């Protein structure tokens, strides 16, 4: 793969309410709130309505017609909320001017598609700023101490940082050192979340970037790109080591690593068209005459990927079926 193609790939990577039956007692405590931070894998509608995530056919299949998500239906945040027996939290942009507790009774989603640990190519709140938003609400007494102690946090970040790095530097030189900076800052951020009283924080690794449709289109969606997958594994190994160290220092399993890499590979299996997106072409795009620039597959339940980067609703379901095992194991 040429440098120009890889650069384009990384620039695009990760650009980017489930009803429950009641709150479950998880690990001996009642989960009351969910706070989500990160990028398009976690965003449930923080980007403005001009974003492609608000356009047809995004939000196509889920019965409640979920708008603003980079999927035909649910994303990772929705599945994790359902796992804990809470509704998916409202997006920050809808409640930032309100201090009413009733508005944030399920928590808040601060994630923005296209954001990163550091500032990316887009003028969006990075993770530090997203956490600042939460701190401001805490200082306004929107959340009491007991609310925070019975809450969980989801952190899904890192892919966009690498895209921004390559766009600015034009080469892979120094990327390894930058990766360490990304993870060091990410660790500082999750420790800050814990300092607010949040006792369970889930941090995702990077999925197999070489298996994204963006990576496999050049070979007709037949094979994953090994070099990109190796990069994913390198990032994840360092991230997991750092999370292990944080838990050792805390003498408690506060931080849980969510292995998206293994979960995605498990969901993909070895079936036909496993790497092909359901929405092909310029998903969500139309020409000046209103003609669609995309085609949607006939059976979304068979597609792991919705578009060239993001999983479908059923794809996230398949990925989460593996993730939930590690979540259950690490709850305490």
Token pair 């530097």 is at which residue? 169
Contact (CB, 8 A) for 235 and 158 = yes
Choosing from 307, 312, 313, 314, which is the catalytic residue? 307
Choosing from 40, 215, 308, 314, which is the catalytic residue? 40
Q: Give the burial class of 253: count Cβ atoms within 10 A of its Cβ; 0-12 exposed, 13-18 middle, 19 or more buried.
A: middle
Closest to 149 (Cα-Cα) out of 306, 31, 299 = 31
Choosing from 151, 161, 310, 312, which is the catalytic residue? 310
d(CA 160, CA 20): 32
Q: Is 195 in the active site?
A: no
Contacts of 236 (CB under 8 A, 6+ apart): 205, 206, 259, 261
Q: Is 218 in the active site?
A: no
Residue 29: helix, strand or coil by DSSP? strand
Contact (CB, 8 A) for 67 and 57 = no
Could you tell me where the beta strands, DSSP code E, fall in 240-317? Answer: 255-258, 279-286, 292-296
d(CA 281, CA 287): 12
Residue 313: helix, strand or coil by DSSP? helix
Q: How far is CA 188 from the centre of its chain?
A: 19
Q: Is 235 in the active site?
A: no
Q: What residues act catalytically?
A: 40, 307, 310
């Amino acid at each position: 793969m040429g440098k120009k193609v890889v650069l384009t790939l990384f620039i695009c990577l990760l650009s980017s309410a489930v009803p429950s039956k009641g709150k479950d007692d998880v690990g001996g405590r009642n989960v009351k709130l969910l706070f989500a931070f990160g990028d398009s894998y976690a965003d449930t509608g923080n980007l403005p309505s001009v974003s492609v995530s608000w356009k047809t056919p995004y939000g196509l299949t889920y019965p409640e017609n979920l708008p603003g998500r980079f999927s035909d239906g649910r994303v990772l945040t929705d599945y994790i909320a359902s796992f804990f027996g809470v509704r998916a939290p409202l997006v920050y942009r809808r409640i930032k001017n309100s201090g009413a507790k009733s508005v944030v009774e399920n928590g808040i989603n601060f994630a923005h598609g296209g954001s990163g640990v550091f500032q990316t190519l887009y003028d969006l709140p990075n993770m530090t700023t997203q956490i600042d938003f939460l701190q401001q609400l805490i200082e306004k007494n929107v959340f009491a101490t007991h609310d925070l102690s019975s809450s969980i946090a989801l952190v899904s970040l890192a892919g966009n940082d690498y895209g921004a790095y390559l766009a600015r530097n034009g080469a892979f030189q120094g990327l390894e050192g930058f990766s360490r900076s990304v993870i060091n800052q990410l660790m500082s951020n999750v420790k800050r979340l814990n300092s607010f009283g949040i006792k369970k924080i889930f941090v995702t690794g990077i999925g197999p970037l070489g298996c994204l449709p963006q990576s496999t289109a050049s070979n007709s969606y037949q094979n994953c790109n090994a070099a990109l997958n190796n990069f994913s594994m390198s990032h994840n190994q360092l991230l997991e080591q750092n999370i292990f160290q944080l838990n050792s220092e805390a003498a408690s399993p506060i931080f849980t690593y969510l292995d998206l890499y293994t979960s995605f590979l498990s969901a993909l299996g070895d079936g036909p068209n496993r790497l092909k997106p359901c929405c092909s072409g310029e998903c969500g795009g139309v020409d000046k005459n209103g003609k669609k620039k995309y085609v949607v597959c006939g059976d979304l339940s068979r597609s792991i990927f919705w578009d060239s980067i993001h999983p479908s609703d059923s794809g996230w379901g398949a990925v989460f079926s593996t993730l939930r095992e590690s979540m259950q194991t690490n709850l305490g």
